[in-house]
Chains A and B, each alone.
Chain A
Amino acid sequence: DGGITQSPKYLFRKEGQNVTLSCEQNLNHDAMYWYRQDPGQGLRLIYYSQIVNDFQKGDIAEGYSVSREKKESFPLTVTSAQKNPTAFYLCASSVAGNQPQHFGDGTRLSIL
């Protein structure tokens, strides 16, 4: 079935450690996105990519990095510079223009 796969489902980070969240899609979508969701809040955009080898900062990019080497993959690295990383991270993809974004089932990141 086509869809978006995020892994791992749960992730724990130690102080000073970088961690990478995986996002893979087989929907043949050009655009991919990373959002952060905190309890009781909506989604906030971290980074997005409209095409391979190109990506842009969203509203809360500080402390995060991404790469887009393949159309299917858009991994997110939470760096040690992100001082409050505990959150639910959601990856999405879409075709261009006014089309809905389709989401994965998220990765929950916690601090040890």
Chain B
Amino acid sequence: GESVGLHLPTLSVQEGDNSIINCAYSNSASDYFIWYKQESGKGPQFIIDIRSNMDKRQGQRVTVLLNKTVKHLSLQIAATQPGDSAVYFCAEKDGGTSYGKLTFGQGTILTVHP
């Protein structure tokens, strides 16, 4: 079946550096993508989303890039802070579904060193 996966399971950065978390997806029919942050013992927290008719979207300190040609999604975090340490998940929605059924990747652990 279709799946969403991550290139790197762990990422360690120094406080103040920029972080880039990557995600590969295989379903060419996906039309909506989301990044979530999950802290230990808590539910995933929405960070940013992007629709397939866009290739870039910016939020506060975060940018999501979508490359449909190579089916690649990335999350960029500017000036990474210790509070950004968490597991980051990408998720995709198949454009053939009207409701929000999401397929999640396995996650990347981001560790920010002070």
Contact = CB atoms under 8 A, between A and B. Distances in A.
Nearest to B102: A101
Contact of B99 (A42, A43, A48, A100): A48
A33 to B, nearest CB: 8
Contacts of A44: 104
B72 interface: no
Contacts, number: 66
Interface centre among B49, B98, B100 (most CB of A within 10 A): B100
A96 B106 contact: no
Nearest to A35: B104
Given A98-B32, A98-B93, A103-B43, A40 B106 contact: yes
Interface residues of A, number: 28
Interface of B: 4, 31-32, 34, 36, 41-46, 49, 51, 89, 91, 93, 98-102, 104-107
